Structure 1
Amino acid sequence: MSTTSRPAVFLDRDGTLMEEAHYCSHPDQVRIIPGVPEALRALKDAGYRLVIITNQSGIGRGYYTLSDYETVQAHFLGLLGEGVIDATYYCPEAPEAASPRRKPETGMVVEAQRDLGLDLARSWFIGDKAVDVQCGLRAGMRPILVLTGHGADQDAAGAEFVAKDFASAVAFILKTSDA
Structure 2
Amino acid sequence: MDGTFDAVLFDRDGTLIRDVPYNGDPSVVTPMPGAREVLRELRAQGVRTGVVTNQSGIGRGLLTHEQVAAVNARVDELFGRFGTWQICPHAPDEGCACRKPAPGLVLAACEALGVSPHRTLMVGDIGADVEAAEAAGAVSLLVPTEVTRADEVARAPRTADDLLAVLELVR
- In structure 1, the gaps of 5 or more residues are 1-5
1:3 equivalent in structure 2 = none
Kept in 2: contact 1:142–1:159 (CA 8 A): no
- 1:153 positional shift: 4.5
> CA shift at 1:159, angstroms?
2.9
Paired residue for 1:160? 157
Map of 1:128-167 to 2, 5 A cutoff?
128-148=125-145, 150-151=147-148, 153=150, 155-167=152-164
TM-score, normalised to structure 1's length? 0.86
Q: Structure 1 residues 72 and 141 mapped into 2: Cα distance closer, same or farther (>3 Å)?
A: same
Amino acid at match of 1:139: A
Quickly say closer, same or farther: Cα 1:149–1:30, change in 2 above 3 A: farther
List per-residue Cα deviations over 1:12-38 (Å, max 9, x = no partner): 000001011011110122001122111
Quote the sequence identity (%): 37
Cα deviation, residue 133, structure 1: 0.4
Instruction: Select between 13-22 and 143-152 the one with higher mean Cα deviation.
Output: 143-152
Tell me the equivalent position of 2:122: 125
Name which of structure 1's ranges 153-162 and 24-33 shifts more when overlaid on structure 2. 153-162
For residue 171 of structure 1, the aligned residue among 150, 167, 170 is: 167
1:149 and 1:128 mapped to 2: Cα distance?
9
Change in Cα spacing, 1:70 to 1:130, as seen in structure 2 (3 Å) is same
Alignment of 1:2-151 (within 5 A): 7-81=6-80, 83=81, 85-148=82-145, 150-151=147-148
- Displacement of 1:147: 1.6
State the SS of the aligned residue for 1:155: helix
Q: TM-score of the superposition, structure 2-length normalised?
A: 0.89
